[in-house]
Structures are given as structure tokens and as C-alpha cells.
Amino acid sequence: MTLPNRLRSSSGTGGVTVDLSAVIVAASPDGPRVLVRQPGTNLPVALPSGPLEAHHRTLDAGLRSWVEELVGYRLGYVEQLYTFGDANRHASARGVPNRALSIGYLALVRESRAKQDHDVTWVSWYRFFPWEDRRHGEPAVMALVREGIAGWIAEAPGDERKHREERAGLAFGRAGERWNEELALERYELLYEIGLVPEAHRDGAAVWAPREAVILEGDILLADHRRILATGISRLRSKIKYRPVVFELMPPRFTFLQLQRTVEALAGVELHKPNFRRLVKHQGLVEETGAVASNTGGRPARLIRFRRDVLLERPTSGVGLPAATSRRDLTRN
């Protein structure tokens, strides 16, 4: 890859490369799915990504170009997440350290149909973060998470122990406290730092747990792509509350139940049906189509659609879910 001069290292010890990585999300009846690729036989799956090249007019144009080439998608909704640049992301083939930056993006699509390629597939994002799906109560893996965190806290000296307890309580919630679904990245970062996920040992970054203690479920992704995905999950979980981005994932017509199930799957929590419906109606986000869905397995359900005029009326409208600390009336225990 030929890089512009401004992207070259001036130290003489290695170059700087810039990758564009995409968290491409689609909704399905089973939950949110992300698009991944198999970059090589002996490598973990990866998010779609490619290098920023000199002919790319903008970062956004570069991302769209690579995604279309790799997986056959013309992206619609796209937003930039963050720039990732850990020193241990990559090493050059000559053994000279390369600084590899990755600019992550979040993209939402309505169709889960990728280019016919055995190297490209859709998978549940909970495959990589099983502790994040609480729609049916606390997942079994949380017992191992709490056990590992308790050991990390117990080995700390007095003053440090309190700090660790506070970090763990903020990320994973204390007994009897509400789960904050927006902190997916903070939870992953804590597990990585402690050494309870395998890539922390791969990167030589684990500060506490020995390699044999890595017992948590959840597949890894290439390089730091699991961190990028966690960032995308946190961003989307937050944004559905104040922007109507969830409708980028919905078909042109849908039922209230389909909308609720999509929001629940993204947030990883179960919502109280009447209150959710009342909140969405209060925001004026949807309107009746006059049609009904007859394939519901019960009474026909009214089909609704996103009311796009709301973007002109109130550009910051979302589905109106309250913060986790005040969801007592919305989330069933």
C-alpha cells in the first residue's frame, strides 16, 4: 500500500498504516448480527476492514469503497466511532515495529444479505460478548465473570482494593443495582485488563490472571476488533435513546412487537410492553399504515412505519428509553 507522506513515520524505525474497520449491524429475529470475514485459515474472524489509500478522497469514502469490494454492500447510515492505535496491534513482516492505526465505524443496514462468499458471514454479536445478553435474566457466564473479578479485587492492597471494587461495581453492577447496558466497552476493557479474556494474554497485556485462568466464553476477533465491536455496541445502545437510528434496522413496515424485540435485542434487556409502546407513541416516532400483519401466530397486528417528519420537528428524538438507573417501570425483573 502506498501511503501519503503525512502517514509515514519520520523516525525511520517503522511506518504508520491506517485501517478502516466497520461494525456492520443488521437486525434479525434472534437478535443483532454483525458481518465478519475469515481473513485466513489460522486466523480468527475479523470485522470488514481495509487500508486508507492515497486515492480515497475521504475516510468515509475509503470505508464505503472497501466494504463494497469485500462484502458487496453499499452502505447507507455510517458514523465514525473512534481511532484505535495500541502499540501491539501489528508487527511488520521484517520484524520492525509498525504503528497501525484503525479508525472504527458503525454502519446499520436493513438487509442481512452479503456477497456470496464463503469467507463472509453474519453472526450474533453475543457470540463475542455472551455476558451482554440479559433478555432472559443474568447469563450463566456471569458466575465466572464475578468469580474472576472477585479474585482480582481480593489480591489488591487496601487502598487499591476499594478502587477495584468501584470499577467493577460501575461496569458490572453491584448486587441489587440496575445493569447499565451502555457500558459494554467498559466491561470488556476491565476483563481485558484483568486477563479474563484470551486476547489479553495474546497481547501480553494481562495484569492479573494467569493464562490458565482464561475461562470466559466468547469468541475472539482478529487484532483489536473485539474492542472495536464493543465500542460499536456501546455507541448504538446509547444512541437509540436519543436518535431514531433503530429505524435504520427496521423494514419499511413493522409491528410494535417487532420494534420492541429489536430494541430489546440491541440493548440486551427485556422491556415492559405497554410502557415501551406508550413511550414510542409519545415521541411521535411511528404512524399507522392501515395494513395488518396476519402471520403473527395470533390476532392480526397493525403495521406501522417510521414517521420521517419527526426529523424536521425534533432532530434529536429517539425511542425514549430512560437511563438504566430509572428503568424500574420498564424492565421486568
The 10s digit of each residue's pLDDT in 160-196 is 999 999 999 999 987 667 789 999 999 999 999 999 9
Q: What angle do CA 225, 185, 136 make, to 5 degrees?
A: 105
pLDDT score of 8: 36
Residue 12 has pLDDT above 90, yes or no: no
Higher pLDDT, 295 or 194: 194
Tell me: the pLDDT tens digits for 117-139?
A: 668 889 999 999 999 999 999 99
First to last CA, the chain: 53
Residue 49 has pLDDT above 80, yes or no: yes
pLDDT score of 330: 39
Cα(318)–Cα(333) distance, rounded to whole angstroms? Answer: 24
Say if residue 226 is exposed, middle or buried (CB neighbours under 10 Å; 0-12, 13-18, 19+).
buried
- Assess if residue 266 is contained within a domain: yes
pLDDT score of 133: 96
Match 443495582 to its residue by C-alpha cell: 177
Do 68 and 155 lie in a common domain? no
Residue 268 has pLDDT above 70, yes or no: yes
pLDDT score of 271: 92
Helix (H, G, I), strand (E, B), or coil: what is residue 77?
strand
- Assess if residue 109 is contained within a domain: yes
Containing structural domain, residue 301:
243-326
pLDDT score of 320: 61
pLDDT score of 329: 40
Mean pLDDT of 135-153: 93
Do 23 and 59 lie in a common domain? yes
Give percent helix, percent strand, percent coil of the chain, each to the nearest 5. Answer: 35, 20, 45
| Residues 113, 103 contacting (CB under 8 angstroms) | no
Q: What is the CATH number of the domain that holds 247?
A: 1.10.10.10
- Assess if residue 27 is contained within a domain: yes
pLDDT score of 298: 66
- Assess if residue 282 is contained within a domain: yes
Helix (H, G, I), strand (E, B), or coil: what is residue 240?
coil
pLDDT score of 293: 86
Residue 82 has pLDDT above 50, yes or no: yes
Do 65 and 94 lie in a common domain? yes
Mean pLDDT over the full length of the chain: 83
Mean pLDDT of 295-300: 70
Do 138 and 206 lie in a common domain? yes
Mean pLDDT of 187-213: 88
- Of the residues 70, 105, 125, the one at which a domain ends: 125
Q: Which residues on neighbouring strands pair with residue 107, listed in sequence order?
A: 24, 78
Do 95 and 158 lie in a common domain? no
Higher pLDDT, 34 or 6: 34
- Of the residues 98, 125, 152, the one at which a domain ends: 125
DSSP class of 248: G
- Assess if residue 333 is contained within a domain: no
Cα(262)–Cα(134) distance, rounded to whole angstroms? Answer: 14
Helix (H, G, I), strand (E, B), or coil: what is residue 162?
helix
Cα(30)–Cα(262) distance, rounded to whole angstroms? Answer: 9
Of 133, 131, 113, 128, nearest to 30 (Cα)?
A: 133
Do 248 and 213 lie in a common domain? no
Cα(114)–Cα(35) distance, rounded to whole angstroms? Answer: 8
Residues 6+ apart with CB under 8 A from 65: 50, 56
Mean pLDDT of 273-278: 91
Q: What is the CATH number of the domain that holds 107?
A: 3.90.79.10
Question: What are the CA-CA distances from residue 67 to residues 17, 35, 60 (Å)?
Answer: 18, 10, 11
Residue 17 has pLDDT above 70, yes or no: yes
Residue 290 has pLDDT above 60, yes or no: yes
pLDDT score of 297: 61
Of 295, 327, 268, 325, nearest to 131 (Cα)?
A: 268
- Count up the domains in the chain and report the number: 3
Do 113 and 9 lie in a common domain? yes
Residue 61 has pLDDT above 80, yes or no: yes
Tell me: the pLDDT tens digits for 220-267?
A: 899 899 999 999 999 999 999 989 999 999 999 999 999 999 999 999
Do 143 and 34 lie in a common domain? no
| Residues 134, 268 contacting (CB under 8 angstroms) | yes
Question: What are the CA-CA distances from residue 286 to residues 12, 62, 267, 318 (Å)?
Answer: 57, 34, 20, 11
Catalogue the E-assigned strands of the chain: 16-28, 31-37, 49-51, 77-84, 99-108, 120-124, 286-293, 301-306
Do 208 and 280 lie in a common domain? no
Do 162 and 183 lie in a common domain? yes
- Assess if residue 233 is contained within a domain: no
Cα(196)–Cα(241) distance, rounded to whole angstroms? Answer: 31
pTM, rounded to two decimals = 0.87
Do 258 and 287 lie in a common domain? yes
C-alpha cell of 247?
A: 429505524
Do 210 and 321 lie in a common domain? no
pLDDT score of 94: 38
Lowest mean pLDDT among 38-47, 108-117, 153-162, 319-328: 319-328
Tell me: the pLDDT tens digits for 95-106?
A: 445 677 889 999
Cα(266)–Cα(149) distance, rounded to whole angstroms? Answer: 26
Residue 333 has pLDDT above 60, yes or no: no
Cα(186)–Cα(214) distance, rounded to whole angstroms? Answer: 19
Neighbours of 325 (CB within 10 A): 9
- Assess if residue 232 is contained within a domain: no
